């Protein structure tokens, strides 16, 4: 891993198209600005893990849950 | 064909209704083929089941996000649309996965940060991740403000 030291306002260029700028540091938090081409996805690296974990949580459904959903749907007047 | 399921027994499905996820769903990347089954109480119930075709145990509850949050209009990444060959809004459908806490089903939430897009023509699908933080990964479906129409 390449490790660089930067100050607020300084940046890093990755290839031709990507620019990362350190906007502000405050305690143990760093605000970062990222300029990247529109088609390039930039997201916090925990997003994938969070969605994966949520999918795993969601996959443990039972027929009992399905019946409860039906009951909630009818009880809450969601039925049009 | 007959789909074997651990929850609903054997279900007759039409093969041309199968939805394929070339990359799988995060957490279940080996499972590529799913089918949408109506709720056992009928097709009008807004909660359906996204059931794996090749795994009798794997299923998710899904719903239409717009039934609960009519403002939901996520900004889908161009790359994702391109991957699914989606060129117009009529080309695709969007569903979200519902998480149901085991003992408190009324506290169910929907994953609005990771909606599933389905190209209605090719029946290819993908769970996409929204970059913006505006959409919650655990959006409470039964909050008071929810539009129940």
Instruction: Give me the mean pLDDT over the A51-56 stretch.
Output: 96
Q: What whole-number percentage of chain A has pLDDT above 70?
A: 94
pLDDT at A77: 65
Q: Which of B8, B99, B135 to mutate to test the interface with A (most CBs of A within 10 A)?
A: B99
pLDDT at A40: 76
Q: What ipTM score was computed for the predicted complex, to two decimals?
A: 0.91
For residue B146, tell me if it sits in a domain: no
Give me the domain span that covers residue B88: 2-140
Alpha carbon separation from B137 to A24, A49, B63, B140 (Å, rounded): 27, 12, 14, 10
Phi and psi dihedrals of A23, rounded to 5? -90, -40
Cβ separation B127–A51 shorter than 8 A: yes
Can you name the residues that pair with B39 across neighbouring β-strands?
Answer: B42
CB atoms under 10 Å from CB of A9, counted, come to 9
pTM metric for this prediction = 0.83
For residue B110, tell me if it sits in a domain: yes
- Answer whether residue A78 shows pLDDT above 70: no
Nearest Cβ partner for A58 among B60, B105, B142 = B60
CA distance B121 to chain A (A): 23
Cβ separation B97–A55 shorter than 8 A: yes
Calculate the average pLDDT of chain B.
91
For residue B149, tell me if it sits in a domain: no
The count of structural domains within chain B is 1
Render pLDDT for B91-140 as a digit per residue (tens, 0 to 9).
999 999 999 998 888 899 999 999 999 999 999 999 999 877 778 999 99
Task: Choose the weakest-confidence range: A6-15, B2-11, B70-79.
Answer: B70-79
Contacts of A61 in chain B (CB under 8 A): 7, 49, 59-61, 100
Calculate the average pLDDT of chain A.
88
CA distance A12 to chain B (A): 21
Render pLDDT for A11-37 as a digit per residue (tens, 0 to 9).
999 999 999 999 999 999 999 999 998
For residue B69, tell me if it sits in a domain: yes
Residues B112 and B96: beta-carbon distance below 8 Å:
yes
**pLDDT greater at residue B73 or residue B34:** B34
Segments making up each domain of chain A, as ranges: 1-42, 43-80
| CATH code for position B121 | 2.30.290.10
């Amino acid at each position: 891993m390449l490790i660089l030291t930067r100050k607020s306002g300084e940046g890093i260029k990755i290839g031709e198209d990507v620019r990362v700028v350190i906007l502000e540091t405050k305690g143990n938090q760093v605000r970062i600005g990222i300029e990247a081409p529109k088609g390039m996805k930039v997201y916090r690296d925990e997003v994938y893990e969070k969605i994966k974990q949520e999918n795993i949580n969601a996959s443990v459904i039972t027929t009992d849950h399905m019946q409860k959903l039906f009951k909630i749907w009818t009880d809450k007047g969601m039925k049009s | 064909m007959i789909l074997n399921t651990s929850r609903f027994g054997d279900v007759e499905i039409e093969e041309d209704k199968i939805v394929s996820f070339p990359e799988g769903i995060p957490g279940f990347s080996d499972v590529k083929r799913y089918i949408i089954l109506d709720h056992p109480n009928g097709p009008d119930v807004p909660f359906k089941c996204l059931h794996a075709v090749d795994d009798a145990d794997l299923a998710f509850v899904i719903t239409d996000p717009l039934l609960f949050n009519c403002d939901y209009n996520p900004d889908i990444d161009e790359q994702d649309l391109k991957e699914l060959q989606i060129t117009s809004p009529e080309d695709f459908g969007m569903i979200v996965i519902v998480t149901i806490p085991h003992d408190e089903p009324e506290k169910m939430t929907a994953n609005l940060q990771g909606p599933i897009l389905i190209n209605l023509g090719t029946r290819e699908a993908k769970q996409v991740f929204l970059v913006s933080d505006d959409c919650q990964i655990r959006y409470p479906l039964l909050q008071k403000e929810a539009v129940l129409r």
